[in-house]
Chain A
Amino acid sequence: MNGPHDMGGMHAYGAINPEPEATEPLFHEPWERKALALTLACGALGQWSIDEARSVRESLDPALYTSSSYYQKWFEALTRQMVDKGLVTAEELETATVSQVPDAGAYRVLRADAVDKVYAQGGPTSMAIDNAALFKVGDTVRARNMNPVGHTRIPRYVRGHPGEVVLWHGGHVFADDSAVGVRRGEHLYTVKFMARDLWGEAAPAADSVMVDLWEPYLEAL
Chain B
Amino acid sequence: MAHDHHGDDMTAPPSDMALRVQALESLLVEKGLVDPRALDVIVDRYENRVGPRNGAHVVARAWTDPAYLERLRADATAAIAELDYTGRQGEHMVVVENDAKVHNLVVCTLCSCYPWPVLGLPPAWYKSSPYRSRAVIDPRGVLAEFGTELNDDVEVKVWDSTSEVRFLVLPERPAGTEGWTEEQLIPLVSRNSMIGVEKARPASEASA
Q: Tell me if A148 is interfacial: C-beta within 8 Å of chain B.
A: no
Are A41 and B109 within 8 A (Cβ)? no
Are B35 and A110 within 8 A (Cβ)? yes
Given the interface pairs A88-B24, A112-B41, A169-B163, the reply to whether A153 lies near B191 with Cβ below 8 Å is no
Are B30 and A98 within 8 A (Cβ)? yes
Interchain CA distance A162-B47 in the complex, whole Å: 41
Count of A-B contacts judged by CB separation below 8 Å: 288
Contact residues in A for B40 (Cβ distance below 8 Å)? 37, 112
Are B47 and A27 within 8 A (Cβ)? yes
Min CB gap B58→A, angstroms: 16
Given the interface pairs A16-B125, A37-B43, A87-B31, the reply to whether A8 lies near B14 with Cβ below 8 Å is no
Are A16 and B38 within 8 A (Cβ)? no
Are A29 and B163 within 8 A (Cβ)? no
Q: Give residues in B with beta carbon < 8 Å to A.
A: 1-2, 13-14, 17-18, 20-28, 30-35, 37-43, 45-47, 86-92, 94, 107, 109-112, 117, 120-121, 123-125, 127-140, 142, 145-146, 152, 155-165, 190-192, 197
B-contact bits for A178-221, CB 8 A (1 contact / 0 none): 00000000001010100100110000101111111110000000
Contact residues in B for A212 (Cβ distance below 8 Å)? 160-163, 165
Contact residues in B for A206 (Cβ distance below 8 Å)? 155-156
Q: Tell me if A138 is interfacial: C-beta within 8 Å of chain B.
A: no
Min CB gap A126→B, angstroms: 6
Are B130 and A109 within 8 A (Cβ)? no
Interchain CA distance A30-B109 in the complex, whole Å: 26
Min CB gap A43→B, angstroms: 10
Beyond the given pairs A17-B145, A115-B42, 10 more chain A to chain B contacts, judged by CB atoms under 8 angstroms and listed by A's residue number, are A8-B107, A18-B197, A19-B123, A38-B24, A41-B38, A100-B31, A110-B34, A111-B35, A157-B109, A210-B159
Contact residues in A for B17 (Cβ distance below 8 Å)? 29, 31, 35, 72, 75
* A-B residue pairs, 10 tightest by C-beta: A104-B32, A8-B109, A212-B163, A112-B37, A122-B87, A37-B39, A10-B133, A18-B125, A70-B127, A13-B129
Are B92 and A169 within 8 A (Cβ)? yes
Are A173 and B130 within 8 A (Cβ)? no
Are A18 and B145 within 8 A (Cβ)? yes
Are A40 and B42 within 8 A (Cβ)? yes
Contact residues in B for A14 (Cβ distance below 8 Å)? 130
Are B137 and A121 within 8 A (Cβ)? no
Are A101 and B109 within 8 A (Cβ)? no
Min CB gap A89→B, angstroms: 9
Interchain CA distance A122-B50 in the complex, whole Å: 14
Interchain CA distance A126-B165 in the complex, whole Å: 10
B33's partner among A70, A72, A79, A104 (CB-CB below 8 A) is A104
Closest-by-CB residue of B relative to A105 is B32
User: Which has the most chain A C-beta neighbours within 10 Å: B42, B87, B125, B139?
Assistant: B42
Contact residues in A for B163 (Cβ distance below 8 Å)? 125, 153, 169, 172, 175, 188, 212-214
